[in-house]
Chain A
Amino acid sequence: GAVVSQHPSRVICKSGTSVKIECRSLDFQATTMFWYRQFPKQSLMLMATSNEGSKATYEQGVEKDKFLINHASLTLSTLTVTSAHPEDSSFYICSAPLAGVHTDTQYFGPGTRLTVL
């Protein structure tokens, strides 16, 4: 099956610094990728839709200037948490749909655990 990777799997940073998280589709092209955040013992909340070659679409309440998304190629989307604060600590998960074959199927990355001190 299709594989989506994320890097890093875990990151600890100081408050005020920026952190970049990568999401890659390893064996398929993804014009669209999704970024979710998951707080402990809660569900996944969609943050934004990353579109290759165009601006990301952010969900209501998500600060686009704080969570910068760049979909640089058909296999890579990055999420940069700028000026991170402890309340940004969360589990960030990306997903990508396998378009054209199974348009209803999304493949999820393993997630990135961000801890802001």
Chain B
Amino acid sequence: QQPVQSPQAVILREGEDAVINCSSSKALYSVHWYRQKHGEAPVFLMILLKGGEQKGHEKISASFNEKKQQSSLYLTASQLSYSGTYFCGTDTDSWGKLQFGAGTQVVVTP
């Protein structure tokens, strides 16, 4: 089942912070985060694995609450380049078969 992302959209001024949430109805093996700009392919941001391991870009931070079956992505001191649609993908059976949320559109303004 598709994970639920919130909020659907957020508008930020440069330098402001935001949190994007991803919630699953099933137990999670891993959560993947990607950013997609209009008409382009998604770009990898971070993976959070059951047990606490994280792999990703240094400037991106995220959390994974296994008990609550939730993950959050933190956009800190946002830059114009952070604009795009953010997707979480969840793996519930450890086979790398991801189900993606509907996305959170982020607009960063000067």
Partners in one complex: no
Chain B contact residues, CB within 8 Å of chain A? none
Q: Which residues from chain A sit less than 8 Å from chain B, CB to CB?
A: none
